[in-house]
A and B are shown apart, each in its own frame.
Chain A
C-alpha cells in the first residue's frame, strides 16, 4: 500500500500561473486535509473534506480552491499563483473511526517567482 501520495514533489511557478496539486490515498479514509508549512508557523490548514463531494475552508483558504470528486483523491488548485504561496504543501488523511490521527503525505515544495 502506498498510503498517501502527492504529485508533484517540486514545482516552480511564475506569478499569475495556475496549477493543481494532487493528493491520492489508498487507505479508504473519509477525511482529507491540505496544509501549508512555512518556517516558524507550523502547519496551517487550507481546506479539508469530510467525505466524497464535500469541502470546507480551513484557517488560510484565500487563493486556493479544492475538489473531492472521488473518495481517494483531493485536489488543491491555485488559480493565480502569488509569491506568498511559496511553501511546502502537505496532504493528510484520517479514518472516520480514529481519534483524529492524521496520516501525512511526503509534501510538495512550491516556489512562486
Chain B
C-alpha cells in the first residue's frame, strides 16, 4: 500500500530524445507526487511536483503526466540534453506525512 514502483531502472537516449520514466502507486490517499533529480555525488533536488487534481504539469522541458484512475504518473523530458544525465526519483506522500520514494532511474543522454 505504501510502495511506489518506478521503471525503468536505467535509460539511455540520444540528445534530443524524449525519455519517459514511469511510476505507479497503490495508496489512493496520496496527494502529492514530486520528482527529484540527483547528480553523482550530490543530494537529490526537487525537480517538479504535481497534485492529483490536475492531469499534467509542465516546467520548462520537464512534464509530469498524471493518471489518477490508473494510479500512475510519469516524467517526460523534452529535447533531452547531456546535462540531464542524472538519477531521477519519483515519490508520493500524504500532505503532512513522509515521502515514499521509488527506486530510481539512471538516465544517460548521449550527444
Interface residues of A (CB under 8 A from B): 4, 33, 40-45, 48, 58, 90, 92, 99-107
Chain B stretch 54-89: residues in CB contact (< 8 A) with chain A: 89
B99 touches A100 (CB 8 A): yes
Total of A-B residue pairs, C-beta within 8 Å: 52
User: How many chain-B residues does the 8 Å CB contact rule pick out?
Assistant: 24
* Interfacial chain B residues near A48, Cβ < 8 Å: 98
Contact A106 to B42, CB < 8 A, known contacts A43-B89, A99-B49, A101-B49: yes
Encode B1-45 as 1/0 by CB contact (under 8 A) with A: 000001001000000000000000000000010101000011111
Which of B32, B46, B95, B99 gathers most chain A CB within 10 Å? B99
Q: List 28 A-B contacts (CB under 8 A).
A: A33-B98, A40-B103, A41-B103, A42-B101, A43-B44, A43-B89, A43-B99, A44-B101, A48-B98, A58-B98, A90-B43, A90-B44, A99-B32, A99-B49, A99-B95, A100-B34, A100-B95, A100-B96, A101-B34, A102-B99, A104-B36, A104-B43, A104-B44, A104-B45, A106-B42, A106-B43, A107-B42, A107-B43
Report A-chain residues with C-beta under 8 Å of the C-beta of B43: 4, 90, 92, 104-107
Is B51 a contact of A99 with CB atoms below 8 Å?
Answer: yes
Chain B residues within 8 Å of A, Cβ to Cβ: 6, 9, 32, 34, 36, 41-46, 49, 51, 89, 93, 95-99, 101-104
A43 cross-chain contacts in B, Cβ below 8 A: 44, 89, 99, 101
